[in-house]
Structure 1
Amino acid sequence: MTIRTACLVAIALGLLAGAAAADPFSDLAALPTFYTDASMKTMKPMAGFKKAWLAMPKHDRVTMTKACKDPAMGKPHAQFCANVLVLDDAK
């Protein structure tokens, strides 16, 4: 019974870790390049935003675009996602 419980706990922790890793907004290291200030309150103008966007690896841009298309993920980052979706539509 103890081994079974330990296995279930390990699986549950693995699933929770996977869900946290799936949130591209949890890694805020790349996000400051899109803002004009350290507090990340003011977005760069679209030209600066686009330059920072194109500097990101394609895989990260695809992941971020998918996250922004999900209403639950994009709502807390509405202004950022609006710019992302505009750039995605301009492809």
Structure 2
Amino acid sequence: MNLKKMVFGTMALAMVSGSAVAGSSSGTSALDDPAKMSPFFTDAGMKTMKSEAETKAAWAAMSQEDRDAVMKDCADATIAKAHENFCKMAMMMGK
């Protein structure tokens, strides 16, 4: 009986921890975070970027940690393709 409980307990733990690990590795990028990205866009759908001056001001207002996360995501070709216009601007400002 104890062996049966241990096997089921182990299986349950494996399923719970497996889904937690999968969720952490497939998290969204910083570029998909509305809290970080809304200062750069004029619309809620984050399709239309603000002017260059407003974009530079928003970039300067970001923490260094957030800027690093954005630059890391823009360096990923797959993510950058989905955010092409923003990443071009970020790469210019991040130099």
- What residue number does 1:59 align with? 65
Q: Distance in 2 between matches of 1:29 and 1:70?
A: 21
Report Cα offsets for 1:50-78 as digits up to 9, x if no partner: 10011011101101100100111111111
Quick one: structure 1 residues 26 and 12, their matched pair in 2 at CA, closer, same or farther if it must change by over 3 Å? farther
Q: Which runs of 5+ in 2 are unaligned?
A: 1-6
Q: Count the aligned residue pairs.
A: 89
Contact 2:30/2:36 (CA < 8 Å) preserved in 1? no
TM-score computed with the length of structure 2 as normaliser: 0.80
For 1:38 and 1:22, locate their aligned partners in 2 and report how far apart those are by CA, in whole Å. 18
Task: Note if contact 1:20-1:26 (Cα within 8 Å) is conserved in structure 2.
Answer: no
RMSD of equivalent CA atoms: 1.7
Residue 47 of structure 2 corresponds to residue 41 of structure 1: yes
2:74 corresponds in structure 1 to 68
Moved more, 35-44 or 70-79: 35-44
Provide the TM-score with structure 1 as the length reference.
Answer: 0.83
